[in-house]
Amino acid sequence: MRPLTEDETKVFFEKLTKYIGKNVLHLVDRSDETYYFRLHNEKVYYVSDSMLRQAVSIGRDQLASLGVCFGKFTKSKKFKLHITALDYLAQYAKYKLWIKPNGEGSFLYGNHVLKAHIGRITEDTPEHQGVIIFSMSDIPLGFGVTARSTVEIRKLKPTDIVAFHQADIGEYLREQDTLF
């Protein structure tokens, strides 16, 4: 377990700002307790100060996971966000997408979001923007990247892809082994 280096922090924050923009500040600078980002086995964990001090006493090989796993660094040092970060992303999301009930199932199985499934979408969402995907009852389902801007979505056919799937809560079942 170690803190992230400068380069790693840069890559990590850049990825986060794609989804929640300036609100990353709220993650770093918290009023109640200081939270840290720590790297362990190439995974980034978001852990509170008290938890961190306790976790320090666990050995490197014995420590499986701590706090909230936000994602992992790949072999080529790129950062991949995991679904376990969804809570924080959903809280501070800037651009949101709501799916109709008939489209939920498809998305939860890992498919992309089609125009027929869209319930609502925040105005002025640009193209290739990271969005958090909610159900109509405001339950966060996952996140993705928009394929088209909000303006262009109106011109699409019902079967065209609107948002690329990146992570969904179905992964808790599908990828139990590699998630944490």
Partner 1 sequence: MDVSAQLEAQKSKFKSINVEKQVPLQFDLGLLASFDTNALEENKLKTETDNYLKTYTRDGTQLLINEIFQLPLTSVQDVGVVVELPKIVTAIPREKPLPKPNPPTRWERFAKIKGIKKNKKSKLIYDEEKGEWVPRWGYKGANDDGSNEWLVPVPDNADPFEDQFTKLREAKKVRISKNEARRRRNMDEAETGETQKLENKSKAGAKALKKTELHQQISVAKTSTASLGKFDKPIKGEPSNTKGVKRKFEPNIGDIQKEKEARLNILNKIIDKKGEVLNVRKAIAKNHQEN
Task: Please give the structure tokens belonging to residue 20.
Answer: 């929640």
Q: DSSP readout, 13-68?
A: HHHHHHHHGGGHHHHHS-SSS-EEEEEETTEEEEEEHHHHHHHTTS-TTT----SE
Binding string to partner 1 for residues 132 to 171, with x set by CB under 8 A, is what?
Answer: ----------------------------------------
By DSSP bridging, strand 161-168 and strand 140-146 are: antiparallel
Q: Of 10, 78, 120, 128, which one interacts with partner 1 (CB under 8 A)?
A: 10
| Nearest-angstrom CA–CA distance, 69 and 92 | 17
Single-letter residue type at 173: L
Nearest approach, Cβ of residue 138 and partner 1 (Å): 23
Give CA separation, 144 vs 32, 98, 109, 126, 127, in Å.
Answer: 30, 12, 14, 13, 12
Nearest approach, Cβ of residue 158 and partner 1 (Å): 26
Task: Please give the structure tokens belonging to residue 23.
Answer: 């609100």
- Examine residue 9 and tell whether it contacts partner 1 (CB under 8 A): yes
- Examine residue 43 and tell whether it contacts partner 1 (CB under 8 A): no
- Examine residue 24 and tell whether it contacts partner 1 (CB under 8 A): yes
- Examine residue 5 and tell whether it contacts partner 1 (CB under 8 A): yes
- Examine residue 56 and tell whether it contacts partner 1 (CB under 8 A): yes
- Examine residue 58 and tell whether it contacts partner 1 (CB under 8 A): no
- Examine residue 22 and tell whether it contacts partner 1 (CB under 8 A): yes
Nearest approach, Cβ of residue 116 and partner 1 (Å): 27
Contact 34, 47 (CB under 8 A): no
> Which parts of this chain interact with partner 1 (CB under 8 A)?
1-3, 5-6, 9-10, 13-14, 17, 21-22, 24-25, 28-29, 34, 36-38, 49, 52-53, 56, 123-124
